[in-house]
Amino acid sequence: AQSVTQLDSQVPVFEEAPVELRCNYSSSVSVYLFWYVQYPNQGLQLLLKYLSGSTLVKGINGFEAEFNKSQTSFHLRKPSVHISDTAEYFCAVSDYGQNFVFGPGTRLSVLP
Amino acid sequence: EAQVTQNPRYLITVTGKKLTVTCSQNMNHEYMSWYRQDPGLGLRQIYYSMNVEVTDKGDVPEGYKVSRKEKRNFPLILESPSPNQTSLYFCASSLSGPTDTQYFGPGTRLTVL
């Protein structure tokens, strides 16, 4: 069975500072990895995903993530955050089947 | 406009009163899924469907039913709701599977008294 751990439930950061949101997963098979974002009172939207190939994945809104197989991690980073990045971020994993497992989420608060 | 719609958006009901939450997508997607979101737990998959008449259990299917008679619709049925099913529910769809981009509906906030 797959599982996803997001070690930080809340991350406060000042505007224009860099941020890293951590994600670790466990799975007995190769996986696909995702980051989704949920803005206040909205559904989720895809930020980026890793399926294969380059381990550094670039997504929308200046975010990127790096897949590290040996550490079973898929941390999300942005070099300079904006107030509008305030949201909840979910890491997720899917194996070669059809189900999909989300982590518990990290609430990013960008402070002026 | 490409979208996933859910109805109702808000629902307060009582224990044991059957209810259905509808989900519809206009993108001709094959894969559809239901999730519930609870504080500190993230989103947990309830049921998913790979295509018409093909459904399967996710991680938390107990107390829920689904059907997929048409490609565009994927209703979630609670035959006898209980207070522990109070949650925020999201429907999602993607082209052919969960590794494709999933498009989420706006959510249905359900309270069971």
Between A51 and A16, the more confident residue is: A16
A57 touches B at CB < 8 Å: no
Any idea which residue has 């980051």 for tokens? A35
Strand A10-14 relative to strand A64-68, pairing:
unpaired
- Cα–Cα distances (Å) from A83 to A46, A65, A86, A111, in that order, read 19, 20, 6, 7
| DSSP assignment string, chain A | --EEE-S-SEEEEETT--EEE--EEE-SS--EEEEEEE-TTS-EEEEEEE-SS-SEEE-GGG-EEEEETTTTEEEEEESS--GGG-EEEEEEEE-SSS--EE---EEEEEE-
At A97 the pLDDT is 63
Q: What's residue A40's pLDDT?
A: 87
Structural tokens at position B40 = 């500190």
Under the banding of pLDDT at 50, 70 and 90, the label for residue A94 is confident
pLDDT of residue B1: 82
Average confidence score pLDDT of chain B: 95
- What is the structure's pLDDT at A9? 94
Predicted local confidence at residue B19, as pLDDT: 97
Nearest-by-CA chain A residue for B55: A98
Contact assignment for B40 to A101 by CB distance below 8 Å:
no
Tell me, what DSSP letter sits at residue B73? B
Query: Is the pLDDT confidence value at A5 over 80?
Result: yes
**Alpha-carbon separation of residue B41 from A8, B5, B14, B89, B110 (angstroms):** 13, 24, 24, 13, 17
User: How far away is chain B from the Cα of A51, in angstroms, using its nearest Cα?
Assistant: 8
The ranges of chain B with pLDDT < 50 are: none
Q: Are A108 and A13 in contact (CB under 8 A)?
A: yes
- CB < 8 Å to B50, chain A: 98
Q: Which residue has the higher pLDDT, A99 or B29?
A: B29
Cα pseudo-dihedral B74, B81, B63, A40, rounded to 10:
60
**Cβ A102–B44 below 8 Å, yes or no?**
yes
Nearest residue to A43 (alpha-carbon basis) of B100, B5, B104: B104
Greater confidence (A31 vs A75) lies with A75
A-B contacts (CB, under 8 Å): 58
A107 and B CB contact within 8 Å? no
pLDDT value at A91 more than 80: yes
What is the predicted pLDDT for the residue at A98?
Answer: 65
Q: B92: which chain A residues are within 8 Å (Cβ-Cβ)?
A: 43-44
pLDDT digits (tens, 9 = 90+) for A36-62: 999 988 889 999 999 888 899 999 999
Does the pLDDT at position A29 exceed 80? Answer: no
Q: Which of A98, A96, A90, A103 minimizes the C-alpha distance to A32?
A: A96
Q: By the CB < 8 Å criterion, does A44 face chain B?
A: yes
Question: Does A27 lie at the interface with B, CB-CB under 8 angstroms?
Answer: no
Residue A102 one-letter amino acid: F
